[in-house]
């Protein structure tokens, strides 16, 4: 492959732009058009890495800037991208620049929470956390009723519920939330629903919906129910 250069267009340029953005040499939207902003990012990369953009150097750049799709022992790429098939026309999978966000949520929030739930309730059977919603691109997020600027659009929020066995809804969402509070994990959480529990790594805020306090939620789903 000949040297890529400013003015070139196409999928190879798009892949290069995606890699540059991931490696923190921001060049804007990866649109496959090598303009002045991409040129500046390339020059910064070349200076830092002592590389050109020959065929060999291009491969190095793309390899360096292509992270592995997020996955962990109990959570998958498919769960990150779970969505309504009826809205497939406006769906886009989690982009590479957000892979690290989803991996952090897996490793430091969902996996520890799953382990704690199995410690507490594993005598009843293996507890699985089922993802109802994780990443939401726009305009999909708006279409499903997500708030503007939702943390779901950054891949750092997931709505989950728990099952034991095939589909027994245990522990319930109140018990999930209480277990998470006792763990003192960082991050935000949305509480007060029997449908799902929201967990994110983007803030430390706790908020209630449907059942607007711990006591009301406990009355409807907790030990008092």
pLDDT in tens, 54-85: 667 777 787 787 788 999 999 999 999 999 99
* Mean pLDDT for the stretch of residues 28-36: 91
- Tell which residue, 109, 219, 126, 206, has the closest CA to residue 160: 109
Question: Nearest to residue 159, comparing CAs of 144, 95, 168, 167?
Answer: 144
pLDDT of residue 166: 81
CATH number of the domain located at residue range(s) 77-221 in this protein: 3.30.1380
pLDDT at 1 (0 to 100): 42
pLDDT value of position 49: 83
In the chain, domain spans:
11-64, 77-221
The HSE-up count of residue 145 (CA atoms within 13 Å, CB side) is 2
pLDDT, position 3:
67
Q: Which pLDDT score, from 0 to 100, does residue 2 have?
A: 52
Name the percent of the chain lying above pLDDT 70: 96
- In this prediction the pTM is 0.77
Assess whether pLDDT exceeds 90 at residue 105. yes
């Amino acid at each position: 492959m000949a040297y890529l250069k400013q003015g070139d267009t196409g999928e190879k340029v798009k892949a290069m732009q995606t890699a540059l953005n991931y490696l923190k040499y921001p060049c804007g939207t990866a649109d496959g058009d090598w303009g002045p902003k991409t040129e500046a990012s390339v020059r910064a990369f070349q200076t830092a890495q002592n590389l050109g953009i020959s065929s060999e150097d291009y491969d190095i750049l793309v390899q360096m800037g292509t992270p592995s799709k997020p996955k962990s022992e109990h959570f998958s790429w498919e769960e990150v991208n779970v969505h309504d098939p009826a809205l497939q026309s406006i769906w886009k999978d989690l982009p590479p620049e957000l892979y690290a966000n989803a991996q952090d949520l897996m490793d430091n929030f969902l996996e520890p929470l799953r382990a704690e739930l199995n410690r507490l309730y594993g005598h009843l059977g293996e507890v699985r956390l089922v993802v109802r919603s994780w990443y939401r691109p726009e305009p999909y997020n708006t279409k499903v009723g997500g708030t503007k600027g939702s943390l779901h659009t950054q891949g750092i929020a997931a709505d989950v519920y728990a099952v034991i066995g095939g589909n027994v809804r245990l522990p319930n969402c109140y018990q999930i939330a209480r277990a998470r509070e006792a763990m003192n994990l960082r991050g935000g959480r949305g509480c007060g629903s029997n449908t799902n529990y929201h967990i994110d790594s983007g803030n430390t805020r706790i908020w209630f919906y449907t059942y607007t306090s711990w006591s009301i939620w406990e009355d409807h789903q907790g030990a008092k129910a």
